[in-house]
Amino acid sequence: MAERALSAGGALRGAWAGLGGATERKHGLPPILGRDTRVLILGSFPGEASLAAKQYYAHPRNHFWPLLAALTGTPLATMPYRERLDALRGQGIGLWDIYVACSRRGSLDGAIRDAERGEVTRVRRAAPAVRLVCFNGQTAARALRAWRDAGYATLALPSSSPAYTRPFAEKLARWREIRDFLERARTR
């Protein structure tokens, strides 16, 4: 059964939904996982651009694809989406979000309400080789304890979102820990 993550009491949530227009229930993207996935990167929930395109990190100013390109040495940001996913799979990297459904107006994590978390057991079945679970930003990192308690190594990363205005080089310095992990895994 999926966990329920409640960010406010039911009465507050209902009142919030009635202010300035209704929120709609949204469903996220399917996980990108394979039997050989060793690193799973979890975001919070896809933004409006990603939901419309049905692609992870579709907003053109999001740093996700340039960060992963720098880590993998592959020009991911310039590749068609399906090729990006194939390249990540080839590197042992998977994608998903901590929330599989929620109510939200707009794209900001702070607007997420009545969120339903993805199941750790689903990942364990689909991708048994996962050893490291990374969290893209603070909202995603709210799920860190559940994944650590399930036996995974965890890593909280600075958000790739354009709303998180840290310099790219600063974000990349932390994200390089993914590359280091994968390199250590290859030499074992």
pLDDT by residue (tens digit) across 112-144? 999 999 999 999 999 999 999 999 999 999 999
Task: Return the structure tokens found at 24.
Answer: 């709609």
Residue 106 CA: distances (Å) to CA of 22, 31, 43: 11, 22, 16
Position 165 confidence tier, pLDDT thresholds 50, 70, 90 = confident
User: Residues for the chain: how many in total?
Assistant: 188
Query: Could you read off the pLDDT of 150-159 as tens digits, one per residue?
Result: 999 999 999 9
- pLDDT of 17 reads 39
pTM of the model: 0.86
What fold does the segment set 4-187 form as a domain?
Answer: Uracil-DNA Glycosylase, subunit E (3.40.470)
Residues with catalytic roles: 62
**How far apart are alpha carbons 126 and 110 in whole angstroms?**
30
